[in-house]
Each structure stands twice: as structure tokens, then as C-alpha cells.
Amino acid sequence: MDERYYDQSNEQKAIQTKYPSINKRFEYLDHTADVQLHAWGSTLQEAFEQVTTAMFCYITDLAVVEPLQTMEIEAEGGDMMSLLYNFMDAWLFNFCADPFFIPRELKVISLDRVNFKIRSIGWGEQFNLDKHPQESQHD
Amino acid sequence: MSRSYNDEQAFLEKLDRNTWRIKKGFVPNMQVEGAFYVNDYLEKLMFEELRNACRGGGFGGFLPAMKQIGNVAALPGIVHKSIGLPDVHSGYGFAIGNMAAFDMSNPKAVVSPGGVGFDINCGVRLLRTNLDEQDVQPVKEQLTQSLFDHIPVGVGSKGVIPMLGKDLEEALEMGVDWSLREGYAWAEDKEHCEEYGRMLQADPNKVSSKAKKRGLPQLGTLGAGNHYAEVQVVDEIFDMHAAHKMGIDHTGQVCLMIHCGSRGLGHQVATDALVAMEKAMKRDNIIVNDRQLACAHVNSTEGQDYLKGMAAAGNYAWVNRSSMTFLTRQAFAKIFNMTPDDLDMHVIYDVSHNIAKVEEHIVGGKQCTLLLIGQPVLIGGTMGTCSYVLTGTEKGMTETFGTTCHGAGRALSRAKSRRNLDYQDVLNKLADKGISIRVASPKLVMEEAPESYKNVTDVVNTCHSAGISKKAIKLRPIGVIKG
């Protein structure tokens, strides 16, 4: 996806140059009503991390989010698909409601493929309208 | 099923200029036939979607709307037909713009959250004023700015109306009655609102605490995506009698249209229900063609819980629209230095796009109680294009149980729009048309550009010529605010 920076403020530019750039292994695919997130990795864990990063990149400009705090997220499911869904939903929920946390980067700590459980940790901060650009989210 | 595109044609039949028939067998297990309404241009888009899906290969991809209409026709308990209205395009399980009716007396009948949509009670409210275009044009920029300052928009925005947990519980139960009690709505607002702004079967206990947690900070916000608030001018009146009943009697009259829904709360209610229903389907042996069509028997615990939670989310959306009405009344009052009362800012109508309702209809000569999924009559155009108010018709009642299209429907995906359209170009084109705009997100401007959508006039004219609804009024925007 084209990265065009619309009116990025000086503060935002400063933050972007302060940290190493985000490792992106995903793309957005066409869908008439919404968007498809296509992500990959050298391991399934990495693919899980990347698809969640893709979701947050759609919502704001992650390059401008600072890794100031951490948050741990766990999820489980009945099968692999519901596990992935519950995992992403858990991260999204913590963004939409208190603490409004947005992870710049996240890592899967453990992925149990037999019992469909996952544990992960993210580095980021609380979403702040004055600091982070609003991009898109379809309610 | 991988049939070739040509083989699929055997199951499709063109009945007249605007109507296509989908025969049984198009997808497995169809209980009834499918149908969809289009005009020439919309027809091309539908078939292109189908052709792309038949090509397959690689990764990604999604079910074309035509197949989804078929899959819905395979749901237990469906009666009459699975119908695609002119704005139909691919959605979650159901196509967006897909209507289905289920016979409540059939124990196998199901209810599917995907059919209602994630944004429960996403809908449109139209307000009138006694201002004319010449009153507003000189202060258009300030008015748009005032609206943008009063209404929280976009990703991550929070409501400005003070709310505690207890308030939310009451709002979920009472809908617009809560807004009225708190002084955010006028008593007359209720009368022009679908369901009087309150679905009585709502039960806040069927809304999870996760959903409430998401909903609390978001009450009174516009949201993002295709939600908007627009200052509009009556451009053309097709049906004077219908227009009069709405308090519209001449072109140039200024109105305000608000399009939004239940934000994160509705989204969470739908998600929670889908998860519960996936388990129920295994237990009750319900088989569907598509995992996204997760559903439960209407009379099961999960089905009933969903309907009660959905009604509560619906009430939340009505409170949201009432709150936004309150804020827009304030914004107008500030600019024109008159009270909203003096400006005569009454609600013309408030209609829901994403809802399930129980109604009595005649099916095959027999009176039935039906669960209807899919709704409305206020058609929002895209950013910068016209909106329409339509009225129902007799044919509409029998063919589609009173449902018609809800909007322009997308033509270009969001990703394609972001790639191909330039933010400044889109804004310049709008400025050329004399439309003032304020957006929270530049990227959203491209996704929501008129070029990304089907032509709303096409969609509305198709409804009109298919006889399922009648044009009453056309509105033209002069100020837009978006998330």
C-alpha cells in the first residue's frame, strides 16, 4: 500500500525517525464493503503477529506510536480460525475500550496448536487523538 | 463448488429489465429461489464480481454477492425469496442489501447476526429546518466547522455527553425515552422514529460487559467508515403529497442528515452472538453453506438472547442519533443565533438499515408472522452526491416485504480507492461542487470518495422502475462531516 504522509507534524516526524521502522509482512486486498488483511511470516506465530499489525496499521499510523508501555493478551478458541479471530478481537477490544492501547509491535509468546491457546505481548501506548492520526475503522 | 462462469449462467434467468432470478441449485440446499434488482450498469458489476470469483486461484478473495444471496436462500425456515436490492454487494454471510424473511411458526427458522450486520441499527435520520439555501451559503464554512467542533468523529473519538454505567443500562433499555428524560430529545422526535426509537424486547442483561465497556465512551459519536453528518438542500420534489407530509414544501429548503449506528457496542453484540451460535449450531445440527452464516433457531436460547441484545444495541443507536441530533441543533443555534425551536429543526424520519423485525405479512395468500432481516427508506448517497427519500409501494410490500435499498453500495474496494484516488483531488472535486467538508482522516476521504461507490441515482431509479419504492425527494449536500 502506498505510504503517503498527509500533513505529518514535526512531532510525528520526530517520533518516526526515533525508532526502527515497523517490520511489515502484510498487504491489504480488495473487498467491496471492507478490507481483507493478508499477512505472512516464517512461522505461524509471525503470521499471527503480522495480521494483527496489519489491522492496527489500518486504524492509525503505527510509525508514530511509541513503545512506552506493554500489554499482555491471551486468547483461546475452538479451532484455528476462531483462535485467530479471538486473538485479534482481544487486541481490538483493548484499543476500543479502556485502556485504549495501541501496540506498535507485538510478539507471540506461545501458540498451542492442540488446545488452541495463544499468549502474546505488545509494546505501544495509549491512543491519543492529539498525537496519533485517525485513519480508518468501519463500525 | 467450482463451476465455470458459463456453467453458472444456467442457474440465472433475466425476468425483465430490472429483475434477475436465481434458480435452485445455484448453491446447494436452496429452500427458495433468489432474486435481485439491477439496472444495466449495476448488472455489469454483479456479474463481474461473479466472474472474478469463478476465476479463483491464489489467496484472499470473497464470495460474490450472487452466491451469498443463494446461500441465504438455503437457510432453514426462509420463505418467499432471498432478495438482493439494487445496492447489493458482497458482505458477511449475507450480501449487503440482501433481504430474507423467516416464518416464525416454523421451529427450524433461524436468525443470523451476519444478516443484521455488525453495526446494529446503523441508520439514517433526517432533520428539517426552516432555513433556505441562501440563508446558509454565506455561513457554510462556519456551519460545517461548528458541526465538526460539536460532534466527535473518527477512530478513537469519545463522546462528550456525560455517561456512567447506570446511564448506559437505562439507555439500552429505554432507547429514545432515555434521551427524552435526560433532555437531549424533543417529544415529537419519537413520533417520527422507527419503532418510536425504542425496541421493547431489549434486555440490557443480554448485552455483555465487553460490549458495554466499548459502548460507554462512544455514546454520541459519529464513528468512522461510511458514517457522516450532512447539511443538505432539497434539490427536487417528485411526490409533492409525500413531501408535504414530511414538512417539505419547496426546493432550496435546508435539511440535515445523520448516518450512524451503534458503534463498538453493536459490533461486540454481533461478535458475541456469532461465537455463541457457532456452538449452538453443532448442538442443534444446523448446516449452512458458509461459516459466516452462523445462526441459531429463533426460539432457541441463543436466538432469543441475540434478538434481545440486538434490540438493546438498536436502542443504543437511537440514543446515539438523538445525542447527535442534540449536538447538531446546538451547532446550528450557535451559527444562526436562534434557538433550535425557532429554527424548526424537527425530525422528519429516522430509519434503520441494519435490523431484524417481526412483522405480519401475507405470504402465498396466508397471513404469516415473519422475522425480517434487512430494512429502510432514507437513502444516503455518497460523500458529495445526492441523497433520496423514498416511500413504500404496494408492490414493494408483497415483493420485498417493504424493504428497499439503503445506499449507493460500493463499487471499488477500500484498498483500491486508497491506491488509485488522490486525497487532494477528491477534496478539490467536492469544493468545485460547492460542498464544504471536514474529515478526521485523510485516508478515509479516498475510501469514501464518490468514485468508490455505485451511482446512488442508478440505485434509486432501479428501485423506482422495479416498483419496489417511489422517489419522493432528492437532496443535495452543501456541507459534510466525516470520521
CB within 8 Å of B130: residues ≥ 6 apart = B253, B343, B344
The pLDDT of residue B360 is: 76
Percent of chain A topping pLDDT 70: 91
- Out of B96, B157, B213, the one facing A33 most closely (by C-beta) is B96
Q: Is B314 annotated as a binding residue?
A: no
Q: Strand, coil or helix: what is B270?
A: helix
Indicate yes or no: CB of A38 within 8 angstroms of CB of B447: no
Q: What is the pLDDT of residue A2?
A: 38
Q: Give me the helix-helix angle, B40-55 and B65-73, nearest 10°.
A: 90
Burial of B145 by CB count in 10 Å (0-12 exposed, 13-18 middle, 19+ buried)? middle
C-alpha atoms less than 13 angstroms from C-alpha of B11 in its C-beta half-sphere: 21
For B475, the 3-state DSSP assignment is strand
Give tens-digit pLDDT for A42-51: 999 999 999 9
Higher pLDDT among residues A63 and A137, named by residue? A63
Confidence at residue B349, expressed as pLDDT on a 0 to 100 scale: 87
**Per-residue pLDDT for A98 more than 60?**
yes
pLDDT tens by residue, chain B, 483 residues: 578 888 889 999 999 989 999 999 999 999 999 999 988 888 888 898 888 888 876 666 788 999 999 999 999 999 899 999 887 888 888 888 888 889 888 899 999 998 888 889 888 899 999 999 999 999 999 999 999 989 888 777 788 888 888 999 999 999 999 999 999 999 999 998 888 999 999 999 999 999 999 888 888 888 877 788 999 999 999 989 888 888 888 999 999 999 888 888 999 999 999 989 998 999 999 999 998 899 999 999 999 999 999 999 999 999 999 999 999 999 999 999 999 999 999 999 888 878 888 877 766 666 666 666 644 356 665 666 788 888 777 777 677 766 666 665 666 666 666 666 677 788 788 888 888 888 877 767 777 776 666 677 878 888 888 888 888 889 999 998 887
- B405-to-B352, B375, B477 alpha-carbon distances in Å: 12, 8, 20
- Contact call for residues B174 and B315 (beta carbons, < 8 A): yes
C-alpha separations of A23 from A50, A51, A127, B221, B430 in Å: 9, 12, 20, 33, 37
State the Cα–Cα distance between residues B229 and B477, nearest whole angstrom: 10
Amino acid at B251: T
* Distance of residue A97 Cα from the nearest chain B Cα, in angstroms: 5
Q: What are phi and psi of B82, to 5 degrees?
A: -95, 120
Reduced to 3 states (helix: H, G, I; strand: E, B; else coil), residue A71 is: strand
Residue B210 vs residues A98, B107, B318: alpha-carbon distances, Å = 11, 31, 20
Q: Which domains, and CATH codes, for chain A? A: 10-126 (3.55.10.10)
**Region of B175 on the Ramachandran plot (φ > 0 left; ψ -120 to 50 alpha; else beta):** left
Q: A138 touching B, CB under 8 A?
A: yes
| B407 in contact with A, Cβ within 8 Å | no
- Which residues have C-beta within 8 Å of that of residue B285, sequence separation ≥ 6? none
A77 three-state secondary structure: coil
DSSP state of A69: E
Is B89 a known active-site residue? no
Asked if pLDDT for residue A64 goes beyond 50, the answer is yes
Phi/psi of residue B189, nearest 5 degrees = -55, -40
CB contact under 8 A, A135 and B483: no
Q: Would you call B470 helix, strand, or coil by DSSP? A: strand
Q: What is the enclosing helix (H) or strand (E) of A29?
A: strand A26-29
A100 touching chain B per CB within 8 A? yes
Q: Which residue has the cell 479516498?
A: B446
B361 is in an annotated binding site: no
What is the reported pTM? 0.87
CA angle, B167 then B170 then B175, to 5°: 115
Q: Look at residue B374 in the predicted model and tell me its pLDDT.
A: 47
Given a contact cutoff of 8 angstroms between Cβ atoms, the answer to whether A121 and A109 are in contact is yes
Query: Cβ(B202)–Cβ(B173) under 8 Å?
Result: yes
- Put simply, the chain B residues between 239 and 298 with a CB less than 8 A from any chain A CB are 261-264, 266-268, 271, 275, 278-279, 291
Cβ-contact A108, A83 below 8 angstroms: no
Residue B333 C-alpha cell reads as 443555534
B418 and A32: CB-CB below 8 Å?
A: no
Q: Do B268 and A29 touch (CB under 8 A)?
A: no
Contacts of A94 in chain B (CB under 8 A): none
**Mean predicted confidence (pLDDT) in A125-137:** 81
Chain B contact present for A5, CB below 8 A: no
H/E stretch holding B398 reads: helix B394-400
Contact status of B62 with chain A (Cβ, < 8 Å) = yes
Is residue B53 within 8 A of residue B63, CB to CB? The reply is yes
The x, y and z cell numbers of residue B388, run together, are 433520496
